[in-house]
Amino acid sequence: MFTGEGPLKGSYIFPNGDRYEGECSRSACGATVRSGVGKHTSASGIIYTGEWHEDKMHGRGTLQHPSGARYKGEFKDNMYHGTGTYTFPDGSVYKGHFHNNRLEGDGSFISADGLVWTGEFHSKAALALKLQHKL
């Protein structure tokens, strides 16, 4: 049920068991869509907290997976897009740029044992990475 003037606020349970709490608006065809800030919890345990636009993750937010993986950063049309930090289930971390869910551009990768690699990433390729030495 959604209430209020301006951005609508409320809670919704989807038929598949997903839940959404946050801001919504009416689309041009009159449907209620996620828009603004809110939290979506999937039935499988994936949690997104952040900005929405026209029913898509869009803007800044955090996406947490049951595996322990987590992305915090910018989204565009439900994809990692812009700058962000992706933490892998083993504790290793990538910080840098993303384009359509892919590592793309300058970034750094920190392994689970603390080694830091910096350079330019292109999806699954990372050419000319440099290992930072500890002093």
Is the same domain home to 32 and 84? no
Is the same domain home to 55 and 71? no
Is the same domain home to 82 and 53? no
Is the same domain home to 81 and 37? no
In sequence order, what are the residues at sequence separation of 6 or more whose Cβ sits closer than 8 angstroms to the Cβ of residue 25? 7, 8, 32, 33, 35, 36
Model confidence at 1, pLDDT cuts 50, 70, 90, reads very low
What's this model's pTM, rounded to 2 decimal places? 0.88
pLDDT of residue 135: 59
User: Rounded to whole angstroms, how far apart are CA atoms 132 and 51?
Assistant: 35
Closest among 72, 73, 38 to 55, alpha carbons compared = 38
Q: With beta carbons less than 8 A apart as the criterion, state whether 75 and 61 touch.
A: yes
Is the same domain home to 10 and 48? yes
Strands (E), the chain: 2-3, 8-13, 19-26, 32-41, 47-53, 56-64, 70-76, 79-87, 93-99, 102-110, 116-122, 125-132
Looking at the DSSP bridge assignments, the partners of residue 67 are none
Q: Report DSSP state, residue 29.
A: T
Is the same domain home to 78 and 51? no
- Which residue among 39, 59, 79 closes a domain? 59
Is the same domain home to 40 and 91? no
Q: Hey, how many other C-beta atoms are within 10 angstroms of the C-beta on 112?
A: 11
pLDDT of residue 2: 46
Is the same domain home to 82 and 112? yes
Count of domains for the chain: 2
Q: With beta carbons less than 8 A apart as the criterion, state whether 48 and 57 touch.
A: yes
Is the same domain home to 3 and 33? yes
Q: Give residue 9's domain range.
A: 1-59
Pick from 27-36, 48-57, 83-92, 125-134: least confident: 125-134
- Which residue among 14, 35, 59 closes a domain? 59
